[in-house]
Amino acid sequence: MGGHGNGNGGGSDSGGAIGCTEARRRCDWDGRCSLALGRYMAHCGKLFNGLRCTEECRAVIQDMLAVPKALLLNDCVCDGLERPICESVKENMARLCFGGGHGSSGASSDGGAGAFDDDYYDEYEDDPAVPPPPPRSEDGEGALLPQPGRHDDSATSGGRGLPSGLSWTLLALLPCLLLSS
C-alpha cells in the first residue's frame, strides 16, 4: 500500500481511506459531527492521558457510530506531523477502550480499517522508535497527550460491545484537534 495520505483529502477512491486532516475538516463542516466531536473532547480526557476509558467516553464513542461524517474519521489515515501522536492515542484506545491487549493494535480482521491497520503498523514498526512530541495546548484547556507506559489495566472494557475498528475514529480526532487549535 503506497502512501498514507498527505492531509489534503482528495481521494477517497484509493481504498476508501482519506487523511485524518481532511476527515476532521469534513467533520467540522457538519453540525452533528462537530457536536459529537465536542462531546468526545469533553468526555474522553482520561483516555487522552492514557489513564482509562470511562463509561461516559464509551457512550460518546457509541453515539458517534450514528453520525455519518464521524464515520469518515473511523477510516482516515494519520498524516502529517501528528502521526506519532496518533500512534499513542491508538495504542491507548486499543488497550483501554477495546481490550486490545491480545498482541494486536486493537484492530481486527473484521474488515475495513482493520486490514489497513495491519499494513500501516507493519511499515511503521520498521522505523526506529520515535518518542511523541511534547503536549501542545495554546489555550491551556486541551487534554494532555497520552503518556507512554501509563495505563490502568483494570479500566479495559474487554470488548464491551464497541467495535475495535472504531479506534480509528478517536485516534483521528485528537491530533487534528491539537494542531488546529
- What average pLDDT does the segment 141-170 reach? 42
Q: How does the average pLDDT of the chain come out, rounded?
A: 62
Distance CA 55, CA 77 (A): 26
Residue 160's pLDDT is 45
pLDDT band, residue 2 (cuts 50/70/90): very low
> Of 166, 180, 135, 161, whose CA–CA distance to 45 is shortest?
135
Out of 30-34, 39-43, 139-143, the most confident range is: 30-34
Please report, as a single letter, which amino acid is at residue 51.
Answer: L
User: What are the DSSP calls for 36-92, one per residue?
Assistant: HHHHHHHH-HHHHTTS---HHHHHHHHHHTT-HHHHHHHH-B--GGGHHHHHHHHHH
Residue 78's pLDDT is 82
Does pLDDT of 36 surpass 70? yes
> CB of 176 within 8 A of CB of 21?
yes
Asked whether the CA dihedral 64, 70, 71, 75 is positive or negative, the reply is negative
- What average pLDDT does the segment 42-71 reach? 88
Does pLDDT of 12 surpass 70? no
Residue 6's pLDDT is 42
pLDDT band, residue 13 (cuts 50/70/90): very low
pLDDT digits (tens, 9 = 90+) for 87-140: 777 777 778 887 754 333 333 333 333 333 333 333 334 444 444 444 444 444
Task: Report helix, strand and coil shares of the chain as percent, to nearest 5.
Answer: 50, 0, 45
- Of the candidate ranges 10-24, 49-63, 125-139, the one whose mean pLDDT is the lowest: 125-139
